[in-house]
Amino acid sequence: MPPTCRTGARHTPRSPRSASAPWSVWTPGHHAPGTNIEQIVATLLRLGKLGSFDFNSRFYADDDLIVGAADPFQLFRIMAEVIRGGGLDAGSGVALMLDQCHNIEAKIPGQIRSVLNVQEMTARALLIDRTALAAAQAANDVLTANAVVMDAFYADVRPALAAWREERGLPADPMRAFADSGYLQRIAADRAGGTQGWVGRVGRPRALHHPPFPRPTSTRIARPHMPDATSSYSTPADLTSPTANPAVTDLIARANRLGADPRNTNYAGGNASAKGTQTDPVTGGTSICSGSGVRWRPRHAHSQGLAVLRLDRMRALAAVYPGLEREDEMVAAFDYCLHGKGGAAPSIDTAMHGLVDAAHVDHLHPDAGIALATAADGEALTCEVYADRVAWVPWRRPGFQLGLDIAAIKDANPQAVGCILGGHGITAWGATSAECERNSLWMIETAAAYIAEHSRPEPFGAPLAGHEPLPRAQRRARAAALAPTIRGLVSTDRPMVGHYTDSDVVLDFLARAAHPRLADLGTSA
């Protein structure tokens, strides 16, 4: 979707330079991937037309996540341009605000964390040596200019900010102070019971911008019949209980088996689903529900990793789907289809699982499948390897439309057991969990066998001098020395845990002539 640049009546700018001309509100959530937001901010500041900046963050669409959650370096670059353009000067008239939607984390701590992230990146941006940077730019010295900027970005300003807060009578650690205050627990207790109100959320399709049921015309509501002690009563949470629903039991077991073998999928890549029936505790009728979202982590799949949705409601979304330009709104619309409580939030892959007419669906990222999916002649190779038993789906960004595409291709090819997703991975399906697992493994093993038979003896080139593996103890000692630095770099926003491997295939790849070029390309899988 195009960048959102809202113009007009949302905030009144306080700066004379923008009071007589149109001004803009800019947010990092409404833009195409790769948009140079800091350049846009700098341009609007230079023209005197930046009225406000709405802080949030995004991974897939307009997620409205905690500020800096996805890309703290982007937040740093934005604040560097805001400072350079005078956006923080007294009387600048630029309003800074948060534009977020907290669905998993508690709202108040989430807002506090966002403010702290903005403070930290602002402090780092203020440390940029502007004189040294200008000199490097004038000399066209890109490396020195980069070093000046990165020195500021990697500076640990947290102790200085803690001292700055204490000097003003504020808690040095606002997150801990809020947690210790007990305020969240008090307001939760105070608000228990009472009458719930409807709060609309931005981001649903227009046809869904209303409560999911009519408001009552009278305040007198008939008391529903409650089951007595002898009644058989099933709660919505039962679908996510591995002991209560056989579809869930089979799904969890399948996910753990497939995820335990790295040949089947990259770590945490892809997801699995199952469709089952469950008694509706409100009507007593039977609901058909789709549980999806179990990701491939060896031996760690569990029922609370499922997003459980009413299949009839989810498939009804196709009637209000507004098209590709507003596809990102559909993930938020899945909230109206949830069954019961708890579990994981729906994801961009939920449509793939729910819309495909199969009881069990696996979506995986195996190396062998990705090799076909990313090949220049991937469609022809898919036909050669699988004949008509596996279909080819041209690349499309994961989302509601991709789910519709796969569902249509499955319906048009009843003999197919799965599909190769161009530039992405594989999806397999089956009428039972066992059949789905067999189809997934067959697709992976068939692709691997074809590659082994037709690949070159040394696909990564000849051995590269100077890149031979070090002795095991020596290379592990070096990895241990380097790991804290790497973890520090990737944990700027939140703590991360890395994984070290020196398996034979990894060492062989690193010792080959093609590895510098291929490693530089990276991977999207």
How many CA atoms are closer than 13 Å to the CA of 175, on its beta-carbon side? 13
- Using the Cα atoms of residue 312, residue 315, residue 318 and residue 323 in order, give the sign of their dihedral: positive
Check: CB of residue 439 under 8 Å from CB of residue 429.
Answer: yes
Cα gap 64→28, rounded to integer Å: 9
Q: How far apart are the C-alpha atoms of 179 and 175, rounded to whole Å?
A: 6
pLDDT at 1: 32
Q: Work out whether strand 24-26 and strand 50-55 pair parallel, antiparallel, or are unpaired.
A: parallel
Q: What's the confidence (pLDDT) of residue 267?
A: 65
Could you give phi then psi for residue 418, rounded to 5 degrees? 175, -170
pLDDT of residue 303: 57
pTM of the model: 0.54
The candidate with the shortest Cα–Cα distance to 507, out of 471, 477, 478, is 471
* Dist CA 378 CA 151 (whole Å): 44
| pLDDT reported for residue 75 | 87
**DSSP structural state of residue 465:** T
Pairing of strands 5-7, 24-26: antiparallel
Phi-psi region at 369: left, alpha or beta (left = phi > 0; alpha = psi -120 to 50)? alpha
Q: Which amino acid is at 337?
A: C
With beta carbons less than 8 A apart as the criterion, state whether 248 and 242 touch. yes
How far out from the chain centre does Cα 372 lie? 25
Estimate the share of the chain in helix, then strand, then coil, as percent rounded to the nearest 5.
Answer: 45, 10, 45
Which residues 6+ apart lie within 8 Å of 518 measured at CB? 460, 509
- Residue 57 and residue 68 in contact, taking contact as beta carbons nearer than 8 Å: yes
Angstrom distance (rounded) from CA 257 to CA 357: 24
pLDDT in tens, the chain (525 residues): 333 333 332 333 333 443 344 455 555 556 666 677 777 777 777 777 776 667 766 665 555 677 777 788 888 988 888 888 888 887 777 777 777 776 677 888 888 988 999 999 999 999 999 999 999 999 999 999 999 999 999 999 999 999 999 888 899 999 999 988 888 888 777 765 544 433 333 333 333 333 333 333 333 333 333 333 333 333 344 444 434 578 888 888 898 888 888 888 876 677 899 998 887 777 776 666 666 654 544 444 555 678 888 888 889 999 999 998 888 888 889 888 888 776 778 888 889 999 999 999 999 999 999 999 999 999 999 999 999 999 999 999 999 999 999 999 999 999 999 999 999 999 999 999 999 999 999 999 999 999 999 988 888 999 999 999 999 999 999 999 999 899 888 888 888 888 888 989 899 999 999 989 988 887 654
Give the pair of three-digit tokens for residue 265.
């999928």
Question: What is 57-91 written as a DSSP string?
Answer: B-SSSS--BSTTSS-HHHHHHHHHHHHHTTTTSTT
Q: Which is nearest to 110 in space by CA: 99, 120, 122? A: 99
CA-to-CA distance for 259 and 95, rounded, in angstroms?
48
CB 37 within 8 A of CB 81: no
State the maximum Cα–Cα separation within the chain, in Å, rounded to a whole number. 84
Distances in Å between the Cα of 155 and the Cα atoms of 68, 134, 258 are: 16, 20, 42
pLDDT of residue 510: 92
C-alpha dihedral, 62 to 63 to 64 to 67, nearest 10°: -110
Overall size of the chain counted in residues: 525
